[in-house]
Chain A
């Protein structure tokens, strides 16, 4: 079996760009080794990123699916692997396995309104969906992005978010849990934004990524507005070792989050989200 067919072998990518996002997160661009093929991906998919000798972590692809030559990842530094990735410089080597998992139903939602609700680092896996939507803007109805961060300093992609907010064809609302100083925006959890935002609940697809509690409350608010649960999509998170349905770690009831997810139709996981410790 050659390298390309073996899903257990990382491929060689080079760090081509690094940007600081917040005090604990950064965005890294990776290019394939010379002569190697690009990895085509869809919005919502993830890669297993390998730091030499340290280990692997599942990280969503946060770049533009229309430009697969560059793999963009936004990473929050929390432990050994993410720390090691943070320690890399331009030209350094990263192992990549992927792309894995299911994607946001962006194409399938053409002709409808899109409501994106996300918190913290959860914006990263939704940015590819934003790019896809923006590139086909005419094909969607209202496009709403509701984004919650802990503090104003925790907002990802600050310049891009600012640009989106200034666009007449997007409704972008940002809120923070707590604010000090200059912040003039919303304060409070992201779910409080849902009741007042303009979209057609009967003609909308909702895409949610964030902690499970946030998902639960977001769904409640969306359902109150009248969004049907089959039109709500959520991205789930579980421990992952293999990414290919072989190691068992990512199980959520009958689902392997790595291959049946991370993006699920809410109906698929609804019951499981209501049970503790599944």
Chain B
């Protein structure tokens, strides 16, 4: 249930207490940390594992970490990972089946009971989660694997106070401020020697965790500073996208020559679909063990960029790279709306940053719709 308590101030030196408190309550704390030159999401035990004093520069096909002059915990934008890797893992066993005489028995339905605390979820990512909710739990059929994990998460959101070079959440109406779908939301403020978080709680769980931490009421001045910093991010968006009438424009432009032009650059490597926090396509693999008595089914992330994806006996439906890029983009921004009542893009910019050749969804849309 959504509730909103008056915002409070948590001193930055107490951030560690938040992690400890969540761990004590039985949560596995996962959050941003540096690995191989990028900020990824992984298990974290202490605040020192956060990317302290680091920021990132992002552009089409470019991602670089840089140091900052301060000791900010969350002064960067989203990296190559997203939270979907916990809710909808890249590889997941759906079930195990055992031959028992002539009977067959499901022995393991792989119910993951891990309770995750997500630390540092951005506004666009909250929206991405709500979009995947529509796919996996709000439709006619529910995915119990997804729901088992989803129902137990504790979400610590972080409002963006700076935007990246490939960000366009304001265009998509998803950020930079978290408005719903979190337990706690932090805005990190650093001014002079002061370093604190403005914290809002939006759930009973959030309020309970917050209560046990040293905090004091936020002053009007502190709130104003935090809001100004968020507004700053809004003005820094590196990209923008016109969404007005976009679905119709895309439907009208299935045959636009620009699809061919993108296809000549696209490597169909599927990077964009792997980093995208809303892409939900998957395939299954059925395996047996050496005895032939036990079988399993695994679900793995798949991508509409592969030719096999659309294979039917006699050949694939989408043979050309052009048709596959068109499928991806038109799905994200057009058909998704019909399917789930929302755009499939939250404007996080990952697909732009992580495309090896810098293909840019915002730019390709402009071309395909002739700038309309």
Contacts and interface: CB of A to CB of B under 8 A. Distances in A.
The answer on A and B forming one complex is yes
Contact of A93 (B104, B304, B312): B104
Query: Which size bracket describes the interface of B in this complex?
Result: 35 or more
Given A91-B102, A251-B331, A55 B282 contact: no
Interface stretch (A5-13, A177-185, A214-222, A223-231): A5-13
Contact of A78 (B142, B310, B313): B313
A111 interface: no
Interface stretch (A64-72, A202-210, A234-242): A234-242
A275 interface: yes
A76 B333 CA distance: 38
A241 B302 CA distance: 11
A215 to B, nearest CB: 14
B33 interface: no
Nearest to A243: B141
A143 to B, nearest CB: 30
Contact of A249 (B103, B145, B281): B281
Contact of B280 (A237, A244, A246, A276): A246
A54 B286 contact: yes
A87 interface: no
Contacts of A78: 313
A188 interface: no
Interface of B: 94-95, 97, 99, 102-104, 106, 109, 135-136, 139-145, 254-255, 280-284, 286-288, 292, 295, 302, 304, 309-313, 317-320, 322-323, 327, 331, 334-335, 338-339
Contacts of A91: 102
Contact of A239 (B104, B143, B311, B339): B311
B368 to A, nearest CB: 14
Contacts of A278: 254, 317-318, 323, 327
Nearest to B111: A1
Given A50-B286, A93-B104, A246-B282, 14 more contacts: A6-B109, A6-B144, A7-B141, A9-B95, A52-B104, A53-B286, A93-B102, A241-B282, A242-B284, A245-B135, A247-B282, A249-B309, A251-B335, A254-B339
A89 to B, nearest CB: 12
A95 B97 CA distance: 11
Nearest to B323: A277
A188 B323 CA distance: 33
B274 to A, nearest CB: 14
Contact of B136 (A52, A246, A249, A256): A246
Q: What is the predominant secondary structure among interface residues of chain B facing chain A?
A: mixed
A141 interface: no
Interface of A: 1, 3, 6-9, 12, 50, 52-56, 78-79, 91, 93, 95, 237-239, 241-242, 244-249, 251, 253-254, 256, 259, 275-278
Given A52-B104, A241-B282, A251 B136 contact: no
Contacts of A247: 281-284, 302
B304 to A, nearest CB: 7
Contacts of A53: 286-288, 292, 295
Contact of A251 (B97, B145, B322, B327): B327
Contacts of A50: 286
B254 A9 contact: no
B283 A241 contact: yes
Contact of B106 (A1, A9, A238, A242): A9
Nearest to B292: A53
A241 B109 contact: no
Residue in A50, A248, A278 whose Cβ sees the most chain B Cβ within 10 Å: A248
Given A8-B94, A241-B283, A246-B282, A259 B339 contact: no
B319 to A, nearest CB: 6
Contact of A238 (B143, B287, B317): B317
Contacts of B286: 50, 53-56
Given A52-B295, A53-B288, A277 B318 contact: yes
Contacts of A248: 280-282, 302, 304
A56 B135 CA distance: 22
B139 A245 contact: yes
Contacts of B254: 275, 278
Contacts of A238: 310, 312, 317
Contact of B317 (A12, A55, A239): A239
B319 A277 contact: yes
Contacts of A6: 109, 144
Closest 7 CB pairs of A and B: A248-B281, A53-B288, A277-B323, A254-B338, A244-B141, A254-B335, A53-B295
B335 A253 contact: yes
A277 B320 contact: yes
